[in-house]
Amino acid sequence: MNSMTILVADDDPVIRKLFEKRLSREGYEVTVAADGAEAARLLDAMVFDVVITDLVMPGDIGGIELLKIAKERSVEIEVIVITAHSSVDTAVDAMKKGAVDYLEKPVNFDELFLRLEKISEVKALMKNAGDLREAMNVTENSAAQTIQDLEIINSAHQQMLDRLEDLLGNHHQDEGSRIEQALQILENR
């Protein structure tokens, strides 16, 4: 029932394995990356709902950089950062830069699952709002075309009536020719 796709980036193979096992057991689709560079490549190739990343990883792409890359791919990707207890400040900094949440090591999986459920709920609400907006757009577009047609037709009729009024009220012409011209206007409509 958990249909979200999750990318886990952590350089520790034991932790990677643990994430993969626990998240899969909960029903999430999990992909793992051994460092930031591999995670960035995976973000290019696949679509993920959530990225869970260690803040400190070897190489040029650490957790903060990966957060930036993920958000550039799509603002809809939610990023959870994992941090050592001593570096909560960095985690807060990550949240300022757009991370949805942070977890301290060692990761409490029950806590993680709760956070993921919340993310899933928000995504479902967002999708629902998007669907409603889409339905509204379809209805609105269809109504707009009908209203436009009526507006133009009505305006043309109004202008024709104005001309007929002028013509029929013009006492400088005899009645016969006024009627003839009026009929002409009506025939050409």
The residues of the shown chain that bind another protein, judged by CB under 8 A, are 71, 75-76, 95-98, 126, 130, 133, 137, 140-141, 143-145, 147-148, 150-152, 154-155, 158
Q: Which is nearer to another protein, 145 or 184 (CB)?
A: 145
**Residue 157: exposure state from Cβ atoms within 10 A (0-12, 13-18, ≥19):** exposed
Q: Nearest approach, Cβ of 126 to another protein (angstroms)?
A: 7
Report the run of H or E that residue 167 belongs to, with start and end.
helix 109-168
Cα–Cα distance for residue pair 21/15, rounded to 1 Å: 10
Question: Is 12 or 165 the residue whose CB approaches another protein more closely?
Answer: 165
CB of 116 to another protein, least distance (A): 19
Of 24, 21, 78, 89, give the one whose Cα is nearest residue 53.
78
**Nearest CB to another protein, comparing residues 154 and 184:** 154
**CB nearer to another protein: pick between 142 and 170:** 142
Q: Least distance in Å: CB of 65 to another protein?
A: 16
Q: Residue 94's Cα: distance from chain center in Å?
A: 22
Structure tokens at 135: 């339905």
